[in-house]
Structure 1
Amino acid sequence: MVRAMLSALALVGAAPAAAQDVAALGWLSGSWQGSGTMFGQPSEARLEARPALGGRFVELSYRAGGFEGRAFYRPAEDGSWRATWFDNRGMSFPIAAELAGRTLTADWGSAETERGRTIYRLTEDGRLHVSDSVLRPDGSHREFAAHILARAD
């Protein structure tokens, strides 16, 4: 009984550290909207980022045209970020991401799905640049979507 209580207290004590790590993406929090292109066509996009599940994750909800997806990011022990993506195509795949200042670079997918990269970059003028690319067989990336978003909240 005492051991179970101590384990529970240890978990509660760990929550603030996890929340501090999640706070590293605070610059991305909020609602964003703007325009750009998707597959060469004009497109409107919306991104919402917020703490989720007791502050242990950052939830990103993204919509561009008829496409919609959601990911739950969490900090990893090595300083990187991990997430799982779900979208309205019925796809889900892992994400491995790196945070450098106010740029989050997310490499997504697997050999069983598809692979690509999404970059979220907050510029000095307060706009969020979001670019999506797919990984080609030769290892290069081909951009298929790019949007410039402004805070909507």
Structure 2
Amino acid sequence: MKTSIAVMLFTLMHLLILAQENKEVEPSIIASLIGNDWVGEGNLMEQKATFMMAWESLWEGKFIKLEFQNKRKGNDDNKIVFKAIASYKIGDDGKVLGNWFDSRGVSFPLRGTVKENMLTILWGDVDSENGKTIYLYKNNNVLVEDFILVNGRFSKFGNATYIQNIK
């Protein structure tokens, strides 16, 4: 009986180890974003839009830089182009601090967290608009959702699915 239990436990342990070795693990979102250009399609303020983002490591990984752009049609059928640059400092504890600068002439602080395949950024302060952006790395795509804080509640105003722009 003891031998049977030992054989069963050994077999179970072996199967668990094999399952772990064969399990595909998504790379961290930061490792996946850095050094890549991403193009996306989605919606922005109830309009179809196209998106671009490029992430790079700065000063030996001390900071991360995001260059961002979206395009959509305005009410008069003219294209509206919005551009921004953000810098991020990611701590060993997964906390994120940064700053945002955009083509409207607006800047605000960024803070957030990174956990495995998700980056969550809260943006704004008492003197500006406030919102949240969630980046999710899944199946070699980046899914992004943008929310603005209105009357104490987050309201989604944009979403996009990005693929890596292979040059």
Q: TM-score range by the shorter chain?
A: 0.7 to 0.9
Structure 1 CA distance for aligned equivalents of residues 118 and 60 of structure 2? 24
Q: Which residue of 1 aligns with 2:8?
A: none
Structure 2 CA distance for aligned equivalents of residues 88 and 98 of structure 1? 25
The alignment status of 1:27 with 2:40, answered yes or no, reads no
The amino acid of 2:105's aligned partner reads G
The two structures, once aligned, show a CA RMSD in angstroms of 1.5
What TM-score do the two structures reach when normalised by structure 1? 0.79
Provide the identity percentage: 27
Task: Give 3-state SS (helix, strand or coil) of 1:42's partner.
Answer: strand
Task: Give 3-state SS (helix, strand or coil) of 2:128's partner.
Answer: coil
| Residues 44-68 of structure 1: CA deviation (Å, up to 9, x unaligned) | 0001011023431110111011111
The alignment status of 1:140 with 2:153, answered yes or no, reads yes
Structure 1 CA distance for aligned equivalents of residues 156 and 29 of structure 2? 27
Cα deviation, residue 27, structure 1 = 1.7
Gapped regions of structure 2 (runs ≥ 5): 1-27, 72-80
Structure 2 CA distance for aligned equivalents of residues 79 and 147 of structure 1? 24
What TM-score do the two structures reach when normalised by structure 2? 0.73
Q: Larger C-alpha radius of gyration, 1 or 2?
A: 2
The alignment status of 1:120 with 2:135, answered yes or no, reads yes
Task: Give 3-state SS (helix, strand or coil) of 2:31's partner.
Answer: helix
The amino acid of 1:136's aligned partner reads V
Gapped regions of structure 1 (runs ≥ 5): 1-22
Cα deviation, residue 32, structure 1 = 0.4
Structure 1 CA distance for aligned equivalents of residues 158 and 129 of structure 2? 16
C-alpha spacing 1:64/1:87, structure 2 compared with 1 (3 Å): same
Match 1:47 to one of 44, 48, 53: 53
Give the number of equivalent residue pairs: 129
Match 1:56 to one of 55, 62, 65: 62
Structure 1: 4+ residue segments shifted above 4 A: none
Q: Which residue of 2 aligns with 1:7?
A: none
Q: Which residue of 1 aligns with 2:110?
A: 95
Match 1:109 to one of 124, 134, 152: 124
C-alpha spacing 1:95/1:49, structure 2 compared with 1 (3 Å): same
